Chains A and B, each alone.
Chain A
Amino acid sequence: MSDISFVRTEMLPEQDPPASTVGLIGWLRENLFSGWFNSILSLVSIYVIYVILSGLLSWAISPTWGAHSLNECREILAGLGREGHYAGACWGVISERWLQLMFGFYPPEHYWRVILAFVLVGVGLAPVLFDKAPRALLWFTPIFPFAVAWLLWGGTIWGPLVAMAGFVVGYFAYRFVSGIAGGLLGIIAAFAAPVIWWLFLAGPVAGALGAILPIGIEAVESRQFGGFMLSVTIGITAILISLPLGIVLALGRQSNLFIVKALCVGFIEFIRGVPLITLLFVASTLLNIFMPPGTNFDIILRVIIMVTLFAAAYMAEVIRGGLAALPKGQYEGADSLGLNYWQAQRLIIMPQALKISIPGIVSTFIGVFKDTTLVSIIGLLDPLGLSNAIRADTNWNGIVWEIYGFIALVFFIFCFSMSRYSMYLERKLQTGHH
């Protein structure tokens, strides 16, 4: 028998890995050319990418920024000796109309209001979205929706202030009623009082205050909203409201209270069973039938409500998925420590359920944002609605790819940012190895 005993007398020094596994060569070898079959696949793919890109770039690189009509574009390209159906892109349409694609028919002298409004959205959301943003911004977060609405629509400042007061009304209604009649009635009062306030009292109060102290900026009508600013307004509002609404619906669906549960299930299943476009038609036409004659219920507001409800139903199901994925032990852990229902939901259940649901939630967000283009069908001038108007212009008659390409690019930037953000969030919330 051979000697199997072995004792190491000298420890080996650390060495650099061989060159073929690191650096560019190493990467290429490992990822593109490992084995003959993969090498062939890589070469074929590279060739396909080359063909597509060379065709696309030779079309896209086209000195037509200054053109004022499709014919002018053609002349410029012909002057360069580029002929044929796809001789080159006609970017003149973008440079001439991009402001319109961004702002619709919003008065150009008020563009700054839109820009400021979206900056404020950024400022208001920063402390919610990023740890590193200063915490002091948090006080602005509950205010920014009202500031933004006021900037966009203008008018008297009392409108948003009185609307904000609705929440204060709700708070005091809760304190007052729950003090007298108990928690459940208090919660009902907390919902009912603001609704009554908004529906019946807010208008007259704002009008009266405006008559006493007329502070305001020039009003802009909803008709004048358009382009990406319209999509973003609808999209962001729907996204921001649908998340909390979805959470409430998801919890309601799990509730032990029969009526709450039935209402939530009914709502979710109804909304999910109906195409968004139907809801939008309801918003644009049918809803007026139910309104008292003479009421002017803003069309954009109606659309926002419909899109929000639609998004909330999907959100609720995504979050329910997250709730279902949580082990029962988490509920028991929270219960056994004496946390009450709301504490357990807020501190233990929701943070984890939402974390699990991040990919689904963000998919829903992206879907909602893209679905805002459907409003063009009911006559709102979102980018797609505007593109039809632009193409109907005799100067630009016949243009297709440039406008849609531009719109697609802007949508892509928004959606891709959301998707990157969700990946950042998932990485950030990663704790431990399971």
Chain B
Amino acid sequence: MSELAIDREIDRSKMQVSDEVAIQITNMNKWYGSFHVLRDINLTVNKGERIVIAGPSGSGKSTMIRCINRLEEHQQGQIIVDGIELTSDLKNIDKVRSEVGMCFQHFNLFPHLTILENCTLAPIWVRKTPRKEAEETAMHFLEKVKIPEQADKYPGQLSGGQQQRVAIARSLCMKPKIMLFDEPTSALDPEMIKEVLDTMIELAEEGMTMLCVTHEMGFARQVANRVIFMDQGQIVEQNEPEEFFNNPKSERTKLFLSQILGH
């Protein structure tokens, strides 16, 4: 796995972890049929944290962060996001989802809408923002991800990296408190990975609470304040990036790191 160099200074002045809890997962279990995919997950995320989740394929990383906005349903335990417990109550679920932004490996932009419409849809329909205001916000975030000139194009006309940045902008338009990333760069070519990572770094610099499933260990080292290693549906090890990479405790982590960093 490549370790893309991050060749710029990171401004850490606003990267501060507060005492307030953003996400609280306690004793969470999940099964697919009889397959125990998540086992006794306990995780507390404070506001302003930047967490990278790593682990081998099939270890349940995606499933775990998808439980946080209930794209997957957990069967045991408790998940509280921004003070709201996720139960089968649809109102709570929609509320949590509108506070939590998510970026997917395959972008999941809406191909029948223009870039601008992709970005204004949820603010207009979920937040009931007036169209004009929603469009201004959308242009603001499109400028932030550096593609305002593509606003009237359709997703199919953009490169992968551009699409992923639109997807990030689309989430940001909802002014989320937490952002989830599920392998946002895995479907991209190296140059595009860099532009998407840059966008994510900027987001971190502004103090966004972020959970990222990614194989970009450079990002983990420089941006994350905590790295979580998962295997077989469990959290095996978590630590500050420095310690995690230089001094892994568990055998599984050591094996994983040796494979992924190619030592």
Contacts from A to B (Cβ < 8 Å): 327, 329-330, 332-340, 343, 347-348, 351-352, 355, 429, 431-434
- Is B104 a contact of A329 with CB atoms below 8 Å? yes
| 1/0 contact string of B150-173 vs chain A (CB within 8 Å) | 000111110000000000001100
Shortest distance in angstroms between A343's beta carbon and chain B's nearest beta carbon?
A: 5
- Is A432 a contact of B71 with CB atoms below 8 Å? no
9-residue interface stretch from B107-115, B139-147, B244-252: B107-115
- Is B174 a contact of A338 with CB atoms below 8 Å? yes
- Is B111 a contact of A338 with CB atoms below 8 Å? no
30 A-B residue pairings within 8 Å (CB atoms): A329-B104, A329-B106, A329-B107, A329-B108, A330-B110, A332-B104, A332-B108, A334-B110, A335-B97, A336-B69, A336-B101, A336-B108, A336-B171, A337-B97, A337-B121, A337-B122, A338-B94, A338-B95, A338-B174, A339-B122, A339-B125, A340-B90, A343-B125, A343-B126, A352-B112, A431-B111, A431-B157, A432-B156, A434-B111, A434-B156
Shortest distance in angstroms between A339's beta carbon and chain B's nearest beta carbon?
A: 6
Count contacts on B: residues with CB < 8 A to the other chain: 30
Q: Which residues of B contact A333 (CB under 8 A)?
A: 104, 108-110
Q: A332-B104, A337-B174 are in contact. Are A431 and B90 (CB under 8 A)?
A: no
Q: B209 on the interface (CB 8 Å rule)?
A: no
- Interface contacts beyond A333-B104, A348-B110: sample of 5 additional A-B pairs, CB < 8 Å, sorted by A: A329-B108, A332-B108, A337-B170, A339-B121, A431-B157
Q: Which residues of B contact A338 (CB under 8 A)?
A: 94-95, 97-98, 122, 126, 174
For the complex, give the distance between the alpha carbons of A334 and B108 in Å. Answer: 9
- Is B98 a contact of A332 with CB atoms below 8 Å? no
Q: Which residues of A contact B107 (CB under 8 A)?
A: 329
Q: Which residues of B contact A434 (CB under 8 A)?
A: 111, 156
| 1/0 contact string of B70-83 vs chain A (CB within 8 Å) | 01000000000000
List 7 tightest A-B contacts by C-beta distance, closest first: A432-B156, A338-B98, A333-B108, A337-B122, A329-B108, A431-B154, A338-B97
Q: Which residues of A contact B95 (CB under 8 A)?
A: 338
For the complex, give the distance between the alpha carbons of A333 and B107 in Å. Answer: 8
Closest B residue to A337 using CB positions? B122
Q: Which residues of B contact A352 (CB under 8 A)?
A: 110-112
| 1/0 contact string of B28-71 vs chain A (CB within 8 Å) | 00000000000000000000000000000000000000000101
Closest A residue to B101 using CB positions? A336
Q: Which residues of B contact A339 (CB under 8 A)?
A: 94, 121-122, 125-126
Contacts from B to A (Cβ < 8 Å): 69, 71, 90, 94-95, 97-98, 100-102, 104, 106-112, 121-122, 125-126, 153-157, 170-171, 174
- Is B125 a contact of A431 with CB atoms below 8 Å? no
For the complex, give the distance between the alpha carbons of A348 and B126 in Å. Answer: 14
For the complex, give the distance between the alpha carbons of A136 and B249 in Å. Answer: 70
Q: A330-B108, A333-B109, A431-B111 are in contact. Are A340 and B156 (CB under 8 A)?
A: no
- Is B156 a contact of A337 with CB atoms below 8 Å? no
Shortest distance in angstroms between A344's beta carbon and chain B's nearest beta carbon?
A: 10
- Is A347 a contact of B69 with CB atoms below 8 Å? no
Q: Which residues of A contact B122 (CB under 8 A)?
A: 337-339
Q: Which residues of A contact B106 (CB under 8 A)?
A: 327, 329
For the complex, give the distance between the alpha carbons of A434 and B158 in Å. Answer: 11
Q: Which residues of B contact A431 (CB under 8 A)?
A: 111-112, 154-157
For the complex, give the distance between the alpha carbons of A351 and B97 in Å. Answer: 22
- Is A336 a contact of B97 with CB atoms below 8 Å? yes
Q: Which residues of B contact A340 (CB under 8 A)?
A: 90, 94
Shortest distance in angstroms between B127's beta carbon and chain A's nearest beta carbon?
A: 9
For the complex, give the distance between the alpha carbons of A351 and B90 in Å. Answer: 24
Shortest distance in angstroms between B213's beta carbon and chain A's nearest beta carbon?
A: 14
- Is B104 a contact of A429 with CB atoms below 8 Å? no
- Is B112 a contact of A336 with CB atoms below 8 Å? no
Shortest distance in angstroms between A416's beta carbon and chain B's nearest beta carbon?
A: 27
